């Protein structure tokens, strides 16, 4: 049975690459959207935020973005203003955001994707930093 998984992905991000690897380790080839090249439409971004059960502020990325320059740390800013900023500067959208038949989730840390994968891992997975994820439990394997 084919499973449709969509990953809003930045190939420069290690966490995002690890999430894609974990999805593939479950035998699923995800549909990858490089959101910096093809940002989601505003209506879709709103829908993804709602389906993930988060607020726009929860999806904001600070590191390596114009977050501070735009004054996005101002807690009085409305959700609409934050969405406006993300539409104007897609780098502000945190990643990876994953859509599966089991839900939508911002997958940080990368193991969070295991909560919404409809298929089990096919074997142990080693993240780019060398940390291992147990296939059966979806848990980090402590280093020896």
pLDDT digit string, tens, across residues 29-86: 999 999 999 999 999 999 999 999 999 999 999 999 999 999 999 999 999 999 999 9
In this predicted structure, what is the pLDDT of residue 136? 63
Share of the chain above pLDDT 90, in %: 85
Burial class (CB within 10 angstroms; exposed 0-12, middle 13-18, buried 19+) of 104: buried
Q: Which positions are catalytic?
A: 13
In this predicted structure, what is the pLDDT of residue 3? 85
Q: How many CB atoms lie within 10 A of CB 13?
A: 17
Strand pairing partners for 105? 98
């Amino acid at each position: 049975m084919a499973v449709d998984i969509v990953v809003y992905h930045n190939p420069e991000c290690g966490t995002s690459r690890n999430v894609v690897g974990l999805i593939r380790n479950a035998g699923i080839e995800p549909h990858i959207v490089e959101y910096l090249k093809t940002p989601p439409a505003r209506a879709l971004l709103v829908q993804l935020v709602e389906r993930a059960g988060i607020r726009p502020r929860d999806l904001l990325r600070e590191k390596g973005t114009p977050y501070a320059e735009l004054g996005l740390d101002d807690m009085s800013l409305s959700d609409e203003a934050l969405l406006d900023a993300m539409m104007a500067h897609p780098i502000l959208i945190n990643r990876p955001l994953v859509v599966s038949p089991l839900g939508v989730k911002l997958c940080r840390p990368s193991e969070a994707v295991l909560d919404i994968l409809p298929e089990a891992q096919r074997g142990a997975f080693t993240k780019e930093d060398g940390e291992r994820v147990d296939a059966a439990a979806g848990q980090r394997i402590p280093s020896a």
